[in-house]
């Protein structure tokens, strides 16, 4: 009974007729207890987010600007990139990333017509669907390490690209029908295939920032610049702007 009386003296029950019920907290609970729980949950959330430093997988979308391989003007194309990242090492100051990405550069159509000396009319329609794919390995430095949940970074790496042409050729020959005087006959044919127009290694530089999301996620904003991405007369160097998300285990 003594302990019960002490408890009642330390934690008085609210009076329904009290005109100032707020001093007991919402619903008659104790505000200090609620505040303590909220603070502990917030600290736990922060600790978990900051500790998300294991290996990761990510996806990035954005755009890259290059010299158009056909008309030689500047063109900006959408880019998709997948990434496999190592754990953050050395007090979360360094990691390594292996990326696979590419862009569709559009289609180009050209028609060729001619008439041969024997009177055959030739009509050829060429269509080229161009794309560039690359694989790249980067080392990234996080200057703030594990002292900050928001992590700016810089880095550099080397990649290898393939400039691809998925081509299609539809052609027809129209000539005098030898079996029908004054008549003509047209023969149609079709061909298609894939060709690698250029491929070579190239260096690149990058910079960005990551922000933690949830338990193991992070969103990122990244800038890359491909240098000397050239081969066979084609120059695919230029800037890349990316936004994405990464999950670290």
Local confidence pLDDT in tens for the 249 residues of the chain: 333 333 333 334 444 444 444 333 334 444 554 554 444 334 434 333 444 789 999 999 999 999 999 888 899 999 999 999 999 999 999 999 999 999 999 999 999 999 999 888 999 999 999 999 999 999 999 999 988 889 999 999 999 999 999 999 998 889 888 888 888 889 999 999 999 999 999 999 999 999 999 889 999 999 999 999 999 999 999 999 999 999 999
- Alpha helix positions (H), 13-145: 31-50
User: What pLDDT score was predicted for residue 180?
Assistant: 84
**Token duo for residue 212:** 């933690």
> Which residues belong to CATH 2.40.160.20 in the chain?
56-248
With H, G, I as helix, E, B as strand and everything else as coil, classify residue 40: helix
> Model-level pTM?
0.74
CA–CA separation, 247 and 98 (whole Å): 15
Question: Which CATH number describes the domain made up of 56-248?
Answer: 2.40.160.20
User: What pLDDT score was predicted for residue 32?
Assistant: 54
Q: Output 68-71 pairs: Cβ under 8 A, ≥24 positions apart.
A: 68/105, 69/105, 69/130, 69/163, 69/197, 69/234, 69/236, 70/108, 70/130
| Closest listed residue to residue 154, CA positions, set 167, 143, 170 | 143
| Closest listed residue to residue 124, CA positions, set 137, 113, 134 | 113
CA atoms within 13 A on the CB side of 127: 10
48 dihedral zone (left: phi>0; alpha: psi -120 to 50; beta): alpha
Residue 217 has φ and ψ, to the nearest 5°, of: -100, 165
Q: Rounded to 5 degrees, what angle do the CA atoms 240, 70, 137 make?
A: 30
Question: Using an 8 Å Cβ cutoff, are 163 and 115 in contact?
Answer: no
With H, G, I as helix, E, B as strand and everything else as coil, classify residue 215: coil
Question: Using an 8 Å Cβ cutoff, are 190 and 124 in contact?
Answer: no
The length of the chain in residues reads 249
CA–CA separation, 235 and 102 (whole Å): 15
Q: Is 52 exposed, middle or buried (0-12, 13-18, 19+ CB in 10 A)?
A: buried
User: What pLDDT score was predicted for residue 211?
Assistant: 95
């Amino acid at each position: 009974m003594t302990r019960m009386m002490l408890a009642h003296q330390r934690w008085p029950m609210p009076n329904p007729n009290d005109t100032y019920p707020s001093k007991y907290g919402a619903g008659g609970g104790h505000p200090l207890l609620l505040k303590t729980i909220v603070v502990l949950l917030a600290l736990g959330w922060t600790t978990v987010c900051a500790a998300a430093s294991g290996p990761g997988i990510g996806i990035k979308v954005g755009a890259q600007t290059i010299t158009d391989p056909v008309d030689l003007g500047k063109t900006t194309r959408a880019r998709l990139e997948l990434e496999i990242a190592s754990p953050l090492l050395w007090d979360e100051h360094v990691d390594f990333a292996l990326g696979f990405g590419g862009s569709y550069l559009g289609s180009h159509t050209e028609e060729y017509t001619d008439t041969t000396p024997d009177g055959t009319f030739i009509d050829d329609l060429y269509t080229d669907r161009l794309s560039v794919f690359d694989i790249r390995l980067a080392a990234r430095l996080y200057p703030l390490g594990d002292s900050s949940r928001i992590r700016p970074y810089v880095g550099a790496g080397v990649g290898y690209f393939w400039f691809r042409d998925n081509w299609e050729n539809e052609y027809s020959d129209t000539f005098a029908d030898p079996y029908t005087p004054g008549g003509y006959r047209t023969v149609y044919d079709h061909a298609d295939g894939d060709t690698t127009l250029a491929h070579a290694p190239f260096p690149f530089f990058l910079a960005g920032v990551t922000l933690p999301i949830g338990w193991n996620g992070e969103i990122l904003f990244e800038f890359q610049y491909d240098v000397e991405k050239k081969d066979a007369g084609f120059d695919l160097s230029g800037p890349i702007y990316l936004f994405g998300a990464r999950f670290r285990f």
